[in-house]
A = this chain, B = another copy of it.
């Protein structure tokens, strides 16, 4: 009887674990469960949200990615609970038993106790989130074209991004470029270059995971792109009309949230110790304390380093953890001892707009064009699947020379609500129109 490993989540960590576990000798049988049928290259999600890439460019069907791993079975479904005592997970209401469990379910965005802000300030974690943000950003320009009142038009042309981490910085830079270059000639009644992008960050600097010098350079790059960077600023309220900041109300019809993450409710069903944002505290070998057969990896894991800090939610962390757990399970089946997990930090990087980025790796510091090229190289290198890599490179080369953003499609629930609606019920989504 093969050792049955259930993996929850086919992100970077889950996928790596699944591939490493399948050794072809049938000793291990893997069930890889995900809510979606695709693996998502999350670091480029902001490109979909800002119409630079299409969903198909950054997502690959999970089944294709493990098609050659015959001991891996993919199941599309929603895991709603874990019973550590009975060693089973609940997938769409049905129990599935496991011998080993790898929880790699990721995190979602968090509104710091203000879940009511979500409707007016969507976050960016899934492909559907990205398409919704793209829809809102593109529709804002359409509304501006129809609006005659200057103040109301200005509100449609103000984009507030909350959170100055990599996602917030990338979104703010890309929206500013979209307005100033891509759609600059598309409208007749206003100049899209008058659009205002405001990046709000509670800390004293953006990209605080980087050292002070690089983070200052990123801020300068943002300001060159005409992004209004507001540091040490907290958002006090969000409505469909705008945001309230300490210095007053800022009218803005498009607010995007990139300010924090929290664990999904699934983590609470474990009944074990969680950290403040709901992540699961794990032992040195990534297992849940007291449950050596259940592991948590990736963004959902709270892994504490000797200095008391915890590992950040980055793709390389997830991949290395996925690999480590696969090794641990193989070791256990061969009667070898477990090893503690050690993260090999190869560095971090972020991009600001179309030709500027920062990268830091050991003593190395890159910024500007060089930082951007490093970012581009690494991201293309790790983009899943050869075809996507070539396609994305081509689209970027094209976009770089033309400032074009080809995926400027408003899809999903329908278009512009009638003029009467725009002022009246701002925070209610438009009714889908039957076509």
**Which residues on A are within 8 Å of B, measured CB to CB?**
35-38, 54-57, 59-61, 63-64, 67-68, 70, 73-78, 92-94, 108, 126-128, 131, 138, 142, 145-146, 183, 185-188, 387-388, 390-391, 394-395, 398, 402, 404, 406-412, 414-420, 433, 435
User: Which residue on chain B has the smallest CB distance to residue A31?
Assistant: B188
Q: Chain B residues near A406 (CB, 8 Å)?
A: 56, 60, 387-388
A127-B186 contact, Cβ under 8 Å, with A78-B433, A138-B37, A146-B75? no
Q: Is the CB of B187 within 8 A of A38?
A: no
A183 to B65, CA, bound (A): 11
Chain B residues near A138 (CB-CB < 8 A):
37
| CA of A387 to CA of B401, assembled, Å | 12
Assembled-state Cα–Cα distance A35/B408 (Å): 15
The answer to whether B416 and A142 have CB atoms under 8 Å apart is: no
With A64-B408, A390-B394 given, name 20 new contacts (CB 8 A): A35-B415, A35-B435, A37-B142, A37-B415, A55-B411, A56-B406, A56-B407, A59-B409, A75-B145, A76-B145, A78-B415, A92-B419, A108-B435, A126-B435, A127-B409, A128-B435, A131-B411, A387-B406, A391-B394, A412-B412
On chain B, the residues within 8 Å of A185 by CB distance are: 67-68
Q: List 16 A-B contacts (CB under 8 A).
A: A54-B56, A55-B411, A60-B406, A63-B187, A64-B404, A68-B185, A70-B188, A75-B146, A93-B418, A93-B420, A94-B419, A127-B409, A127-B411, A387-B398, A387-B402, A387-B406
Which residues in B have their C-beta under 8 angstroms from that of A63?
Answer: 183, 186-187
Known: A57-B54, A127-B411. A404 touches B419 (CB 8 A): no
B418 with A38: CB separation less than 8 A: no
Q: Is the beta-carbon distance between A409 and B78 smaller than 8 angstroms? A: no
Interface pair A61/B435, CB less than 8 Å apart = no
B37 and A412 form a contact (CB under 8 A)? no
> A387: nearest residue on chain B (CB-CB)?
B398
A411 surroundings in chain B (CB, below 8 A): 55, 127-128, 131
Task: Provide the bound-state CA to CA distance between A142 and B38, in Å.
Answer: 12
Instruction: Give bound CA distance, A145 to B420, whole Å.
Output: 48
When C-beta atoms are compared, the residue in chain B nearest to A71 turns out to be B188
Instruction: List the 10 closest pairs (A to B, CB-CB), nearest first.
Output: A63-B186, A54-B56, A56-B407, A54-B54, A92-B418, A61-B408, A67-B185, A93-B418, A37-B410, A76-B142
A177 nearest CB across to chain B (Å) = 15
Residue of B60, B75, B128, B146 touching A412 (CB-CB under 8 A): B128
Q: Which residue of B lies closest to A135 (CB)?
A: B37
Residues of B within 8 A of A131 (CB): 411
In the complex, which residues of chain B have a beta carbon less than 8 angstroms from the beta carbon of A412? Answer: 128, 412
State in angstroms the CA–CA spacing of A433 and B146 once bound together.
Answer: 34
**A256 → chain B, closest Cβ, in Å?**
17
Chain B residues contacting A61 (CB-CB under 8 Å) are 186, 408-409
Query: What residue in chain B is nearest A414 (Cβ atoms)?
Result: B35
Interfacial chain B residues near A142, Cβ < 8 Å: 37, 76
User: Smallest CB-CB separation from A399: which chain B residue?
Assistant: B387
Once bound together, how far apart are the Cα atoms of A354 and B131, in whole Å? Answer: 30
Q: Among B36, B94, B126, B416, which residue has its beta carbon within 8 angstroms of that of A92?
A: B416
Task: Name the B residues within 8 Å of A60 (CB-CB).
Answer: 406
- What is the CA–CA distance of A95 and B173 in the complex, to the nearest angstrom? 39
CA distance A220 to B418 in the complex (A): 50
* A94 contact set on B, CB distance < 8 A: 418-419
Are A408 and B188 closer than 8 Å at their CB atoms? no
Residues of B within 8 A of A78 (CB): 415, 433
**Which residues does chain B contribute within 8 Å of A391, judged by CB atoms?**
391, 394-395
Docked Cα-Cα span, A76 to B410, in Å, equals 11
Q: Specify which of B387, B404, B408 is in contact with A387 (CB 8 Å cutoff).
A: B404
